[in-house]
Structure 1
Amino acid sequence: MNAGVALLIIAIVLGIIVLAVLFTFVPVMLWVSALAAGVKVSIFTLVGMRLRRVTPSRVINPLIKAHKAGINVTTNQLESHYLAGGNVDRVVNALIAAHRANIELPFERCAAIDLAGRDVLDAVQMSVNPKVIETPFIAGVAMNGIEVKAKARITVRANIERLVGGAGEETVVARVGEGIVSTIGSSESHKKVLENPDLISQTVLSKGLDAGTAFEILSIDIADVDIGKNIGAELQTEQAEADKKIAQAKAEERRAMAVALEQEMKAKVQEMRAKVVESEATVPLALAEALREGNIGVMDYMNYQNISADTDMRGSIGKMSGDQKPNDKD
């Protein structure tokens, strides 16, 4: 009797363990919830998800939600999107939001948008409720050289058709900024921009800046306009300063060339003086050579000395006459 009770207890324990393992591996409660919601899912399908390392609740719960909302999706579609790394719950929520807003959004496109890294639910909500993007102050320079700063508010709506491969908000802001700078730059005066800031928004909006983006620009409103620096005057001042430095450099170059030429002339004069001194030094030697050879006599040499002395005396008298000041009485 005691052995039979022991075997019974062991059998009960083993049964409990088997049931625990079975209920852990097979999501029976999830299967029951799906049946209660009217979603026909085979228990073997759930077991297959376990074998494919798919969390059944990540697929079945969104499937129940879609079924209750009237969205026609299959288990295979949701499971394949899960295996591709997508967010099944967000895709189903986006499909429900699009269905409620009467926006045509097939499952394949919705899954592609999600796999592209974009928030498809946020895109659907933005299609219903447009988003306002505020740009920072964008500076442009009018033709009269005055800087004008403008801040714009861009109202955009998501374009479901271009969400895959379309440019984002940064591109829209950059294009609008480029349009603002171009419009301000084409204005003759900053006063015209201040008088009619709507001219900026009208000009920018007419350029079709939303082409190739994931958004559709509904309106561009100029929120604030401010006056900046006088860029034209600053550029003229900088140009004048640059011209001044160039002129100073050229003057310094001419001065250096003049100094170099003066030094060169002094060097030539000194060279000529040296040659004269050298030539004068050869005169006594030539006279001595002439005396030895008999080409000149002693009297000729004496006459040469007298003439040289007379020339020196006349030069001294001329210098003394030039140094004397004229007499007032004369």
Structure 2
Amino acid sequence: MAELFGGGFIIVLIVIGISLFLNLVPIGLWISALAAGVNVGIFNLVGMRLRRVSPSKIVMPLIKANKAGLPVSVNQLEAHYLAGGDVDKVVDALIAAHRADIPLTFERACAIDLAGRNVLEAVQMSVNPKVIETPVVSAVAKNGIELRVKARVTVRANIDRLVGGAGEGTIIARVGEGIVTSVGSALDHKAVLENPDHISRTVLAKGLDSGTAFEILSIDIADVDVGRNIGAELMTDQAEADKRIAQARAEERRAMAVAKEQEMRAYTQEMQAKVVEAQAKVPLALSVALEKGNLGVMDYYQMNNIIADTDMRKNIAGLEEFDKNNDPK
């Protein structure tokens, strides 16, 4: 019984050992590498497992590179994998560049990949240029007419400037700026409509791809539409603003005139009040003069006669004026 138990324990240990061995050593992958003519040692595969590197993500790209005739080693692929790069995409890019006769080294491809750019797409764009369509760009000619321009920019990836070069957004912004400058320098919008290719030639001559990850091959004007009369609208707005300024100044002058009139009325009322006050003091002054003997009784009567005569003359003059105004002739 003890012998059976001991034999079963040994079998279990053997099974566990075989499982651990197969887990550490990818036999199937090693056989595939040998069949493809790729010399990958079994201890290298075990080392990948211990370094937490997936052997399949190293061996399969290595097989593709070997079949394509690229001088790539296991250590290079493993180092790029550990750096966080996409080994499979780098190898595919190297194969595509090799087939298209584009000079691209493994180090440059790894740098492009680690910079966050799609190196395979960049190589494909170098072979098959990409067309970037700009949004509608609004520009105004010197005669005040707005033109809405849409362009198509054909670009090719510049492998040497992919690391540190500007992207598509910069290309679109620069092309839009060039369109605005070209249209704005035209004396008449009709000249732009007649020769839209003048815009593309002018913009292309500015070297807009400087410092970018692309090389501009051509700029084609896809559509040109006539927009608003910006010049007339600006003149209308300016006239409206001038009218409002004039109205404000007129209102200011009117308010000043009203204030002046009210000031004069207040002054007149003040003078009238002083006259009334002075007239109220006349009887008192007369009584004082009579009391002190400075004014005689006859002088007083004579003064009253003069006043009465003056009032009569005023009344007569008022009646004559009334008769003139109401004369039926």
Same fold (TM over 0.5): yes
Tell me the TM-score normalised to structure 1 length.
Answer: 0.95
- Secondary structure (helix, strand or coil) at the match of 2:131 reads strand
Question: 2: distance between equivalents of 1:318 and 1:325?
Answer: 11
Instruction: Tell me what 1:223 maps to.
Output: 222
Instruction: Tell me what 2:188 maps to.
Output: 189
Instruction: Tell me what 2:24 maps to.
Output: 25
Instruction: Tell me what 2:313 maps to.
Output: 314
In structure 1, list runs of 5 or more residues that go unmatched. none
Question: 1: distance between equivalents of 2:107 and 2:289?
Answer: 126
Which amino acid is the alignment partner of residue 98 of structure 1? A
Deviations 1:115-154 (A, max 9, x none): 1110000000000111111112212111111111221111
Question: 1: distance between equivalents of 2:11 and 2:309?
Answer: 159
Instruction: Tell me what 1:85 maps to.
Output: 84
Deviations 1:249-303 (A, max 9, x none): 1111111111111111111111110111111111111111112222122222222
Deviations 1:33-63 (A, max 9, x none): 2222222222222222222222222112211
Q: CA deviation at 1:328?
A: 7.1
Instruction: Tell me what 1:95 maps to.
Output: 94
Instruction: Tell me what 1:149 maps to.
Output: 148
Question: 1: distance between equivalents of 2:185 and 2:270?
Answer: 69
Instruction: Tell me what 2:51 maps to.
Output: 52
1:240-319 correspondence runs (5 A): 240-319=239-318
Question: 2: distance between equivalents of 1:226 and 1:304?
Answer: 97
Question: Do structure 1's residue 67 and structure 2's residue 66 form an aligned pair?
Answer: yes
Which amino acid is the alignment partner of residue 205 of structure 2? S
Instruction: Tell me what 1:171 maps to.
Output: 170
Question: 2: distance between equivalents of 1:113 and 1:164?
Answer: 6
Question: 2: distance between equivalents of 1:76 and 1:301?
Answer: 139
Bigger shift: residues 36-45 or 163-172: 36-45
Bigger shift: residues 110-119 or 25-34: 25-34
- Secondary structure (helix, strand or coil) at the match of 1:157 reads strand
Question: 1: distance between equivalents of 2:278 and 2:322?
Answer: 31
In structure 2, list runs of 5 or more residues that go unmatched. none
Q: CA deviation at 1:309?
A: 1.5
Instruction: Tell me what 1:234 maps to.
Output: 233
Question: 1: distance between equivalents of 2:68 and 2:6?
Answer: 52
Question: 2: distance between equivalents of 1:77 and 1:271?
Answer: 107
Question: 2: distance between equivalents of 1:210 and 1:312?
Answer: 103
Question: 2: distance between equivalents of 1:285 and 1:45?
Answer: 136
Bigger shift: residues 267-276 or 19-28: 19-28
Percent of residue pairs identical:
68
Question: 2: distance between equivalents of 1:285 and 1:74?
Answer: 132
Instruction: Tell me what 2:323 maps to.
Output: 324
Question: 2: distance between equivalents of 1:188 and 1:34?
Answer: 70
Question: 1: distance between equivalents of 2:10 and 2:67?
Answer: 43
Question: 1: distance between equivalents of 2:37 and 2:328?
Answer: 141
Which amino acid is the alignment partner of residue 8 of structure 1? G
- Secondary structure (helix, strand or coil) at the match of 1:219 reads strand
Deviations 1:3-50 (A, max 9, x none): 434432332222111111221123232222222222222222222222
- Secondary structure (helix, strand or coil) at the match of 1:281 reads helix
Count how many residue pairs are aligned between Structure 1 and Structure 2: 328
1:98-113 correspondence runs (5 A): 98-113=97-112
Instruction: Tell me what 2:37 maps to.
Output: 38
Question: 1: distance between equivalents of 2:45 and 2:303?
Answer: 142
Question: 2: distance between equivalents of 1:305 and 1:246?
Answer: 62
Instruction: Give the RMSD, CA atoms, in angstroms.
Output: 1.6
Question: 2: distance between equivalents of 1:312 and 1:328?
Answer: 28
Which amino acid is the alignment partner of residue 87 of structure 1? D
- Secondary structure (helix, strand or coil) at the match of 1:187 reads coil
